[in-house]
Amino acid sequence: MLSIESFVAISLIKTVIALFVLLTAVAYTVWLERKVVGHMQNRWGPTRVGPFGLLQPLADGVKFMFKEDLIPPHVYKPLYMAAPMLAVVFALTSIAVIPVGNSISIGGIQTSLQIADVNIGLLIILGVTSLGVYGVALAGWSSNSKYSLLGGLRASAQMVSYEIALGLSLVGVLILSGSLSLREIVDAQSGTYWGVLPRWNIFPQFIAFFIYLMAAYAETNRIPFDLPEAETELVAGYHTEYSAMKFAMFFMAEYANMITVACVASLLFLGGWHGPRFGPPLLQAILPVFWFALRIFGFLFVYIWIRGTLPRFRYDQLMAFGWKFLLPLAIANLVVTALVVAIQS
Amino acid sequence: MAHLSSTIALEPTQDRTMILNMGPQHPSTHGVLRVILEIDGETIVRIMPDIGYLHTGIEKTCEAKFYQQVVPLTDRIDYLCPMTNNLCYALAVEKLLGLEIPPKAQWLRVMMNELTRINSHLVWLGTHALDIGAMTVFLYCFREREDILRLFEAVSGQRMMTSYFRIGGVALEPPLDFFDRVRDFANRFPSKVDEYENLLTGNPIWKMRTQGVARITAEDAIALGASGPTLRGSGVDFDLRRDMPYSGYENFKFKVPIAQEGDVFARYLCRVQELRESIAMVQQALDGMPQGPIKADAPKVVLPDREKMKTQMEALIYHFKIITEGFAVPAGEVYQAVESPRGEMGYYIVSDGTAKPYRVHMRSACLANLQLLPKMCEGRLIADVVAAIGSIDIVLGEIDR
């Protein structure tokens, strides 16, 4: 049993590491997106700052920090200031319950690769990410600009609508694994079906995975559901009136959310960190984290790929798609899953 | 804004509506169009286009120029299809002068004019798709447009403001490998059109965003003076190149694509089909390109070759006279219309018998087409306004002149 001091110390260290990794990942997801979309579109993407433009995120960060932070006179200041912080805080918080691998022991201390191993991890993620809509909605409202208002309205309607389909799509997985703890859900996916097919939830729950994928795009305001910031209609949507670091915070929040949904998808549907383990003990310890990162990378790549391919929905079509297609499909999937599980047991 | 307050009420007319100002600085109003929307939530109650932000005074400027000096101004009216404007102006003045244009110049003009149409349609397709959120198509279109601009540069020395067609012919003999380069492009291009269509035509989201959106009936389109693909998308089979041929278009075989639905998707299909027809016409022009001079035999109007200027005294004198005094055009008036990528582009020129036009008026296809916008958008959503503006393919330089 750990003493309370060492528990706090270890948690702090893990928090710092997780935040560092997450923020770096956010920065390099932006880089990846620019690079991949660039190559899809006959461009190079960033090339100037560092080899392959690898230092571009740093340059962007420096630029955002030193830009003049304009606050238009017509905004409602307290909420205008709070909105980007809310967005980024809620986006970063959910990383706390996401496990990235099995437990490891360093210097005789056994610790799990997770900041807080709570048994309702998934609920926390769903709760925290849905709070993220406040950042967007408040930004749109407090900016006192018509374009921002429309963006904020679109965002709140969209996120609330797709939240339901998103949540329902995950229930099927929960029924299969019988737990809300992310670690146990992953453990339930170890082994194989008939000795060949990995026991990942995506196979019995592929419809749920599809629904989750769609809803996750909508939740994170990405093409084809990027209506809240549809630049050709609403200029920049809810963040029209933001500049410098405040704008960057919305940006960070969006990409952190992308990474969070990628993590959840990997944990719930793609077997988390399961994968072949071989080699010396050190490699054995690192490999699960690597497999996990690889899945997240794959998920993010699909995100970017879609961005390079698809046009944008219209607002009413988006709502119709969410309520009239995804939601019934999610409910049907849930009922079928429940029936099958009930019959089997 | 005095004129504005008298014509457009900027106050909402109902309790539950608000006025949203789109433009003149807005990412998808294609330049400096200003659209004032009265919206109820996201639904359009009223829509009022406001133009005049790109007024250049070109029409008036023409009156202070010699006839040949107007040619570079015509490039700048519609900067996406400079050669079409060159052609229309040159044809109008040639009609007044009664000039006979040698066949090679005519074929060259048709070829360059069709390349210009492709160039213009590529910009339209790219920006239209970008407005609806398909970013990649935009860059693909600009990749091919770049090839065309290089061809323009090779033939005229300029990428955009070409001024290649002159009164009495074309400015220069194309460079040696020019036709090979055009043929190379013409062979490659159809597969590129397939590429754009792969990304858009069958795409369910693209269809959802364009089918049934901003519908306009044939009667309305005719009543409001629409022309070009905007008219043909509503099922009216009318194309000046076929119905009132000019500059040797009667020698070419081509289909005029039409669609019946009158929505954004129909206009999209018409234009994409036109890309294919135009490149086929470029092929025909290459195959049948006649030999001979590229300028009319009219020494008082057409500038002499550089070579002759240095060896023949008459040529030097004509050159000096044309440059310093211009050439007198018989008194009269003329209207010449051509099928520009956007519709009926017409030049109405009045001559008082001097070397400068008395009046030049351009009939702008975009101005008439823009009148359709309120009819297309009322009762629809904000996103549809963007799609509708894209689908009528406006160039503000041409509207405001």
For chain B, domain boundaries: 58-372
Comparing A117 with B190, the larger pLDDT belongs to B190
Q: What percent of chain B has pLDDT over 70?
A: 98
Spatial separation of the C-alpha atoms in residues A170 and A180, rounded to whole Å: 10
Over residues B150-189, the pLDDT tens digits come to 999 999 888 888 888 988 888 888 888 899 999 999 999 9
**What pLDDT sits at residue A127?**
86
**What pLDDT sits at residue B299?**
84
Of B133, B143, B384, the CB nearest to A230: B133
Question: Which residues in chain A have Cβ-Cβ distances shorter than 8 Å to B203?
Answer: 310-311
Contact between A42 and B139 using a beta-carbon 8 Å cutoff? yes
Q: How near does any CA of chain A get to the CA of B150, in Å? A: 18
Q: How confident is the model at residue A232 (pLDDT cuts 50, 70, 90)?
A: low
Alpha helix (H) residue ranges in B101-224:
103-131, 135-156, 178-200, 204-210, 218-223
Spatial separation of the C-alpha atoms in residues B107 and B147, rounded to whole Å: 21
**What pLDDT sits at residue B244?**
87
B residues 369..398 contacting A (CB < 8 A): 381-384, 386
Instruction: State the residue for tokens 């928090």.
Output: A15
Inter-chain CB pairs, A–B, below 8 Å: 81
Spatial separation of the C-alpha atoms in residues B229 and B280, rounded to whole Å: 18
Q: Residue B1 pLDDT more than 50? A: no
Q: How near does any CA of chain A get to the CA of B96, in Å? A: 45
Cβ-in-10-Å burial (0-12, 13-18, 19+) of B71 comes to: buried
Of B130, B136, B381, the CB nearest to A315: B381
Comparing B261 with B30, the larger pLDDT belongs to B261
Instruction: State the residue for tokens 């052609």.
Output: B87
Spatial separation of the C-alpha atoms in residues A136 and A239, rounded to whole Å: 8
B33 and chain A in contact, CB less than 8 A: no
B residues 129..148 contacting A (CB < 8 A): 129-136, 139-140, 143
Q: Encode A128-143: b = buried (16+ Cβ within 10 Å), e = exposed.
A: bbbbbbbbbbbbbbbb
Strand-pairing partners, residue B18, are: B39
Question: Which residues in chain A have Cβ-Cβ distances shorter than 8 Å to B143?
Answer: 42
ipTM above 0.85, yes or no: no
- The residue among B48, B20, B46, B82 whose CA lies nearest residue B341 is B82
Q: Which CATH architecture has domain B58-372?
A: Orthogonal Bundle (1.10)
Strand-pairing partners, residue A201, are: none
Q: How near does any CA of chain B get to the CA of A210, in Å? A: 17
Of A232, A312, A316, the CB nearest to B27: A232
Contact between A312 and B27 using a beta-carbon 8 Å cutoff? no
Spatial separation of the C-alpha atoms in residues B171 and B105, rounded to whole Å: 10
- The residue among B161, B156, B126 whose CA lies nearest residue B143 is B126
Q: pTM of the entire structure?
A: 0.85
Q: How near does any CA of chain B get to the CA of A235, in Å? A: 6
Instruction: State the residue for tokens 């988006």.
Output: A318
**What pLDDT sits at residue B6?**
45
| Interface test with chain B among A34, A232, A316, by most B beta carbons within 10 Å | A232
CA angle at residue A232 from B270 to B383, to 5 degrees? Answer: 70
Over residues A272-318, the pLDDT tens digits come to 777 777 778 777 777 888 888 888 899 889 888 888 888 888 888 88
- The residue among A271, A298, A269, A273 whose CA lies nearest residue A287 is A273
Amino acid making up residue A316: D
Q: Residue A179 pLDDT more than 70? A: yes
Strands (E), A187-296: 192-193, 197-198
Tell me the C-alpha to C-alpha distance, in Å, between residue B3 and each of B6, B36, B49, B52: 5, 15, 13, 11
Spatial separation of the C-alpha atoms in residues A55 and A72, rounded to whole Å: 32
**What pLDDT sits at residue B5?**
46
Q: How near does any CA of chain A get to the CA of B343, in Å? A: 25
Contact between A233 and B28 using a beta-carbon 8 Å cutoff? yes
**What pLDDT sits at residue A41?**
84
Q: What count of residues does chain B have?
A: 401
Question: Which residues in chain A have Cβ-Cβ distances shorter than 8 Å to B382?
Answer: 150, 233-234, 315
Contact between A43 and B139 using a beta-carbon 8 Å cutoff? yes
Spatial separation of the C-alpha atoms in residues A63 and A50, rounded to whole Å: 16
**What pLDDT sits at residue B2?**
43
Q: What count of residues does chain A have?
A: 345
Tell me B295's DSSP state. Answer: B
B residues 215..244 contacting A (CB < 8 A): none
Of B139, B199, B381, the CB nearest to A316: B381
* Cβ contacts of B37 within 8 Å, gap of 6 or more: B19, B20, B21, B22, B44, B46, B47, B48, B382, B385
Retrieve residue B360's tokens: 């030049």
**What pLDDT sits at residue A107?**
66
**DSSP codes of every residue in B32-70:** T-EEEEEEETTEEEEEEEE--TT---HHHHHTTS-GGGG
- Closest-CA residue of B relative to A154 is B42
- Closest-CA residue of A relative to B206 is A311
Question: Which residues in chain A have Cβ-Cβ distances shorter than 8 Å to B27?
Answer: 231-232, 235
Other beta carbons less than 10 A from residue A306's beta carbon? 14
> Do the beta carbons of residue B29 and residue B51 sit within 8 Å?
no
Q: Residue A52 pLDDT more than 60? A: yes
Question: Which residues in chain A have Cβ-Cβ distances shorter than 8 Å to B208?
Answer: 313-314, 317
- The residue among A105, A116, A101, A126 whose CA lies nearest residue A267 is A101
